[in-house]
Amino acid sequence: MADDRTQQLKIAIAVLSLCLVVLVGLIGLIAFRPGASPVETPAVSIGGPFELTAQDGRRMSERDIAGKPFAVFFGFTHCPDVCPTTLWEMSEALKALGTDGEDVRMLFIAVDSERDTPEVLSPYLQSFDPRIVGLSGTPEEIEQVVKAYRVFWEKVPGTDGDYTINHTASVFLMDAGGRFAGTISYGEPSNVRLEKLRQLIGKG
Ligand code: NI
């Protein structure tokens, strides 16, 4: 008799346990059903504080351009094509903005800390619009801003100990609040480029 009761108790516990497992499973299914409660993807933040050296030797940070929209481009002066093309096309676009764009700045951040000193950047940038500011820094300073803008770059060894650099070719557009507002892709038509800049400065 005692054995029967023990047996019944064991069965009851087993049934209850099974019910509990099923219940937990159902709750899990409802709670984590795809689309039922979408997991919020944190907005990818692009940009942030920086402190670098301008081509005139002065230190420059995001505070110096606060309250004004700006563009950011990462590159290096030895770049044979993407950098000079981008800087030339952006110069043309800045010119086309006229006085509407006189407060706009474009930062050309040189990732080649080894070769791109202010003394190299200064003459290099004379071929382009004066609103383009060349910025260089120590590898650590560059790394910080590269991370902030989620930029990719890598040194590619060439012949005779020389090297070139592969790098992100997009221009980042930042609004007056320092927030990421979009990009201009390499090779984007000049009218699209200009329209994006007009929108950035609120004249679109
Ligand atoms: Ni380049």
pLDDT digits (tens, 9 = 90+) for 85-123: 999 999 999 999 999 999 999 999 999 999 999 999 999
What would the DSSP string read from start to end of 3-26? Answer: HHHHHHHHHHHHHHHHHHHHHHHH
Using alpha carbons, list the distances in angstroms from residue 87 to 10, 77, 82, 126, 203: 79, 11, 8, 11, 22
Distance 81 CA to ligand 1 centre (A): 6
pLDDT in tens, 127-151: 999 999 999 999 999 999 999 999 9
Query: Residue 114, Cα to own-chain centre: how many angstroms?
Result: 23
Distance 74 CA to ligand 1 centre (A): 8
pLDDT in the model for residue 159: 86
Residues 152, 157, 162, 168, Cα dihedral to 10°: -20
Distance 83 CA to ligand 1 centre (A): 4
Mean pLDDT, range 162-169, rounded to an integer: 96
Measured in degrees and rounded to the nearest 5, phi and psi for residue 106 equal -120, 130
d(CA 135, CA 61): 10
SS3 at position 120: helix
pLDDT over 90 at 41, yes or no:
no
Query: Residue 96, Cα to own-chain centre: how many angstroms?
Result: 26
Distance 119 CA to ligand 1 centre (A): 19
Distance 78 CA to ligand 1 centre (A): 8
Mean of pLDDT over the chain: 88
Query: Residue 54, Cα to own-chain centre: how many angstroms?
Result: 21
Q: Identify the bridge partners of residue 163 per DSSP, sorted by sequence position.
A: 157
Q: Identify the bridge partners of residue 184 per DSSP, sorted by sequence position.
A: 171
SS3 at position 155: strand
Distance 19 CA to ligand 1 centre (A): 64
Mean pLDDT, range 18-40, rounded to an integer: 55
- CB burial string 44-68: b at 16+ within 10 A, e below: eebbeebebbbbeeeebebeebeee
Binned at pLDDT 50, 70 and 90, residue 174 comes out as: very high
pLDDT over 80 at 20, yes or no:
no
3-state helix, strand, coil in the chain (%, to 5): 40, 20, 40
